[in-house]
């Protein structure tokens, strides 16, 4: 909770940052801003406690620099924030270092500013990083061997020098650890991203091999069947037999069309970005039912809806339709024709920050031994199953793109319930 509040304070609540590195840089700047404010406050207190005057303006300058950097950070002026922060901090450190005849450890901050330059600018702005590193090194040599002081010389007690050295050491150590942790964290996350992408690539290659094999088989089978039916039609003169062959051809073409549509859905989900918009759920469900309900042999299925007309989510309309078409289509396709009353019930309601959609039927059901596999690519529960075996796989992958999930409950001979959860706001 505290981390989230700090993040909202530093970069603004709900602010979107293009890359993870930019986000981490913004958070790092936030930590450096806090350190700068604390440094100014601590030194104001230390000087007042030791009756040292004349430095307040410089400590206030450090805090003002932190405030300006904070404002630029909130407005996503990241490069300008880096330049302003590093320029002013280098200048203030130089002012103190050029007059540090007591060797109170102020020079340590030139090391910190150099490391900070490399960390904040990174590889993207490496020339600026190099320039600021050279600036820090140059100011160090100038202040250490320059034999001049911009500020008037002051006399300090031994106790004050010791406190100053200890304070400078602690601040430099904490800042250095923060920068080191940031670099380790960036490297760790990068490694995780590479491993995740390698796993995804391996998964994609496996699925592609399986897809090519199964798709070619599922496309060639109806084509071979069509060729056979054409040959039969050419050899017969019986009108009834010709009509029967034409009906069978129509069925094969329809199956091929459905399969090609599923391939298109699969490709679109994998390649197209998620398009978020406000969606009223009920009209979408009604549209899907209208598209599916009046296919041949489905007129007797009774559909019950329990969805509020005001229920809406922020999501991708096209992907939501694909999910509903596959799930509702399965409920229609695998109805039980031997039951006197064939029903499909669709209900939806909000559950905290998610929307739950239940699609329940009293159809054929799915045997328990098949339920863990039905979401696999090209899996068919048995040889008599209709469809390509892609539908539920596409549903699972599409829900993953929408940060959703799905659950299956089914009893063979009694019916099936699919439950899906989707975030109300798919940010």
pLDDT band at 16 (very low <50, low <70, confident <90, very high): low
pLDDT in tens, 155-187: 777 888 888 888 888 888 888 888 888 778 777
Instruction: Indicate whether 109 belongs to any domain.
Output: yes
Instruction: Indicate whether 209 belongs to any domain.
Output: no
Final residue in a domain of this structure, among 167, 199, 231: 199
Residue 425 DSSP one-character state: B
Residues 280, 185 share a domain: no
Place of tokens 């299925």: 301
Residues 282, 195 share a domain: no
pLDDT in tens, 95-136: 888 877 767 788 888 998 998 898 888 878 889 999 999 999
Say how far apart CA 405 and CA 175 lie, in whole Å.
42
pLDDT at 213 over 70: no
Ranges assigned E (strand) in 227-289: 277-280
- CATH number, residue 395: 3.30.565.10
Contact 138, 100 (CB under 8 A): no
pLDDT at 79 over 80: yes
Cα separation values, 298 from 80, 82, 343, 379, 413, Å = 65, 66, 11, 24, 18
Instruction: Indicate whether 324 belongs to any domain.
Output: yes
Instruction: Indicate whether 232 belongs to any domain.
Output: no
pLDDT band at 390 (very low <50, low <70, confident <90, very high): confident
Final residue in a domain of this structure, among 161, 180, 199: 199
Phi, psi of 77 (to 5 degrees): -95, 65
Cα separation values, 175 from 16, 171, 322, 417, Å = 27, 6, 51, 56
How many residues belong to the chain? 427
Least confident of 216-230, 238-252, 286-300, 406-420: 216-230
Residue with the bigger pLDDT between 30 and 419: it is 419
Say how far apart CA 218 and CA 252 lie, in whole Å.
11
The 3-state DSSP class for residue 416 equals: strand
pLDDT band at 222 (very low <50, low <70, confident <90, very high): low
Residues 155, 12 share a domain: yes
pTM of this prediction? 0.50
Residue 374 DSSP one-character state: T
Residues 6+ apart with CB under 8 A from 304: 343, 344, 345, 346
pLDDT band at 346 (very low <50, low <70, confident <90, very high): very high
Residues 319, 184 share a domain: no
**DSSP run (H or E) holding 284:** helix 281-293
Q: Is the dihedral of CA 75, 81, 85, 91 positive or negative?
A: negative
Residues 154, 11 share a domain: yes
The 3-state DSSP class for residue 149 equals: coil
Q: What's residue 259's pLDDT?
A: 67
Q: What's residue 35's pLDDT?
A: 82
pLDDT at 262 over 80: no
pLDDT at 4 over 70: no
Residues 287, 179 share a domain: no
Q: What's residue 9's pLDDT?
A: 57
Please give the residue range of the domain that contains residue 365: 275-427
Residues 108, 12 share a domain: yes
Instruction: Indicate whether 243 belongs to any domain.
Output: no
Q: Which of 11, 2, 4 is nearest to 30 (CA)?
A: 11
**Angle of helix 391-401 relative to helix 239-271, nearest 10 degrees?**
20
Residue with the bigger pLDDT between 257 and 9: it is 257
Half-sphere exposure of 401 (CA within 13 A, CB side): 25
Instruction: Indicate whether 238 belongs to any domain.
Output: no
For residue 315, the tally of other CB atoms under 10 A from its CB is: 26
Give the residue-averaged pLDDT of 77-82.
Answer: 86
Instruction: Indicate whether 47 belongs to any domain.
Output: yes
For residue 216, the tally of other CB atoms under 10 A from its CB is: 10
pLDDT in tens, 26-73: 777 887 888 888 888 888 888 888 887 778 888 888 888 888 888 887
* Assigned token pair, 163: 């406190």
Domain count for the chain, please give it: 2
Say how far apart CA 80 and CA 342 lie, in whole Å.
67
* Assigned token pair, 284: 């979408």
Contact 312, 350 (CB under 8 A): no
Give the residue-averaged pLDDT of 238-252.
Answer: 81
Residues 289, 195 share a domain: no
Instruction: Say what percent of the chain tops pLDDT 70.
Output: 81
Place of tokens 């130089």: 94
pLDDT in tens, 282-329: 998 998 888 776 665 567 888 899 999 999 888 888 888 888 988 998
Q: What's residue 135's pLDDT?
A: 93
Contact 129, 117 (CB under 8 A): yes
pLDDT at 212 over 70: no
Say how far apart CA 233 and CA 237 lie, in whole Å.
8
Residues 289, 193 share a domain: no
Final residue in a domain of this structure, among 199, 226, 245: 199
Instruction: Indicate whether 266 belongs to any domain.
Output: no
Give the residue-averaged pLDDT of 348-365.
Answer: 90
């Amino acid at each position: 909770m505290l981390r989230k509040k700090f993040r909202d304070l530093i970069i603004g609540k709900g602010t979107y940052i293009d890359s993870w590195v930019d986000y981490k840089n913004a958070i790092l700047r936030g930590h450096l801003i806090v350190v700068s404010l604390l440094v100014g406050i601590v030194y104001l207190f230390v000087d007042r406690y030791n009756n040292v005057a004349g430095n307040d303006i410089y400590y206030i300058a450090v805090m003002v620099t932190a405030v300006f950097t904070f404002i630029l950070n909130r407005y996503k002026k990241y490069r300008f924030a880096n330049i302003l922060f590093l320029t002013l901090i280098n200048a203030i450190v130089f002012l103190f270092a050029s007059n540090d005849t007591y060797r109170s450890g102020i020079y340590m901050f030139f090391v910190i500013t150099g490391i900070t330059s490399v960390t904040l600018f990174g590889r993207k702005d490496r020339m600026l990083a190099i320039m600021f590193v050279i600036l820090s090194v140059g100011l160090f040599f100038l202040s250490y061997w320059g034999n001049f002081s911009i500020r008037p010389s002051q006399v300090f007690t031994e106790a004050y020098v010791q406190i100053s050295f200890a304070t400078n050491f602690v601040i430099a150590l904490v800042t250095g650890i923060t920068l080191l942790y940031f670099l380790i964290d960036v490297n760790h996350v990068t490694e995780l991203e590479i491993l995740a992408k390698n796993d995804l690539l391996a998964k994609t290659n496996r699925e592609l091999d399986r897809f090519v094999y199964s798709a070619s088989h599922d496309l060639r089978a109806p084509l071979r069947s069509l060729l056979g039916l054409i040959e039969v039609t050419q050899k017969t003169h019986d009108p009834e037999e010709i009509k029967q062959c034409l009906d069978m051809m129509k069925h094969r073409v329809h199956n091929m069309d459905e399969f090609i549509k599923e391939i298109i859905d699969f490709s679109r989900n994998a390649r197209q970005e998620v398009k978020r918009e406000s969606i009223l759920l009920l009209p979408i469900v009604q549209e899907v039912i209208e598209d599916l309900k009046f296919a041949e042999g489905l007129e007797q299925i009774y559909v019950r809806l329990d969805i509020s007309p005001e229920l809406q989510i922020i999501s991708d309309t096209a992907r939501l339709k694909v999910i509903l078409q596959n799930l509702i289509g399965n409920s229609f396709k695998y109805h039980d024709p031997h039951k006197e009353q064939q029903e499909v019930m669709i209900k939806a309601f909000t559950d905290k920050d998610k929307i739950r959609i239940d699609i329940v039927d009293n159809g054929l059901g799915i045997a328990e031994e098949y339920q863990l596999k039905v979401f696999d690519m090209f899996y068919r529960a048995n040889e008599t199953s209709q469809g390509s075996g892609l539908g539920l796989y596409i549903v699972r992958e599409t829900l993953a793109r929408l940060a959703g999930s799905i659950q299956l409950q089914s009893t063979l001979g009694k019916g099936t319930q699919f439950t899906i959860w989707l975030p109300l706001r798919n940010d």
